[in-house]
Structure 1
């Protein structure tokens, strides 16, 4: 399976990057094809008003590498791993811009919107957050945002790993072993059980199938 790991921190050797590398290693260990990208290399502009900056042919008028990243890496991927530091109790600005700009390419005005709309659902998604605070509530708002984003796009949020650290490499010292958890998340991207029951969802009483 194809896995895209997106590093959303401007600090390329920071704690969220270490978490991303661990998840990528886990996914490769499981036999998957893994691509790692830095959002800094592709996303330079923020979302604007498409009515004023979309070109006559319907293409996006923001001239950076976002469209290539979206069409060449993100849409074809079977799973996404999003790694971000916690900035002001939310995701990094670069990752927020990447999410916001999906709108331009999902819109009818974009000539390739059919490809984008068909390629976004069904993906398995893992989230990695580097956070200075050990207070559990610090990342809950961001986790909830990822939950709603994946539900809106009909994707499965497989898991969230939070590593505590601020200075470069701090997550290595986190006694909760977030690097190990990130690697495990990468290994289990396509095996982890994801459920989101409604009252009328057909289901067995047994959560896990028996060994035999």
Structure 2
């Protein structure tokens, strides 16, 4: 199985990416192919809302989204990774998700499987309510199949994260991908 990891954190060694490394470890033990795409360190412009694409045509913008589009269309599982910023995903990941608009019809008809990994400083479960609802709405709208989420609260630093139960949960979720 081909698994695409879309990283949305500007912190290469941050908590969300640390959790993702454990997820990848579990996935690779099942001999799946993993591709990582770091939207925070690629050039992905925000959607212009120009409607040129009509949800099923080429985007007028010429940036790294063309590469990400091909990866999303060619992989079986898409993993969205982000730190929690003000109760939502990072601006970098949001820009990439918004740009899915130009190939919504094709991508939604493929019934992709998805995973969501998010790390937050706050340890309250309620902290993740809005971002979880956003992810679930995306899954429903795009006809994705959710394979699981890691909503890691109390993971504000890599040290906090590495000592949390979420490390094992991320590994186990990766291991469960078949």
Structure-2-length-normalised TM-score: 0.89
Q: Give structure 2 stretches of 5+ with no counterpart.
A: none
Distance (whole Å) between structure 1 residues aligned to residue 101 and residue 3 of structure 2: 22
Q: 2:143 aligns with which of 154, 160, 181?
A: 154
Greater fraction helix: 2
- For 1:129, the equivalent position in structure 2 comes to 118
Matches within 5 A, 1:23-102: 23-51=23-51, 59-71=58-70, 73-102=71-100
Maintained 8 Å contact 1:20/1:81: no
Distance (whole Å) between structure 2 residues aligned to residue 21 and residue 30 of structure 1: 15
Maintained 8 Å contact 1:85/1:91: yes
Matched, 1:183 2:171: yes
**C-alpha RMSD over aligned residues:** 1.8
Deviations 1:39-93 (A, max 9, x none): 1233431110324x77xxx63232211111111x111111111111000001111
Structure-1-length-normalised TM-score: 0.76
Maintained 8 Å contact 2:40/2:93: no
Distance (whole Å) between structure 1 residues aligned to residue 2 and residue 37 of structure 2: 13
Q: Which runs of 4+ in 1 moved over 6 A?
A: none
Task: Kindly indicate whether structure 1 or structure 2 has the higher relative contact order, using CA contacts under 8 Å at least 6 residues apart.
Answer: 2
Which is higher, the Rg of structure 1 or of structure 2?
1
Maintained 8 Å contact 1:41/1:65: no
Paired residues, number: 174
- For 1:203, the equivalent position in structure 2 comes to none
Deviations 1:9-43 (A, max 9, x none): 01111000011111111111112111112112334
For residue 104 of structure 1, report the CA deviation from its aligned partner: 2.0
Matched, 1:172 2:150: no
Maintained 8 Å contact 2:83/2:119: yes
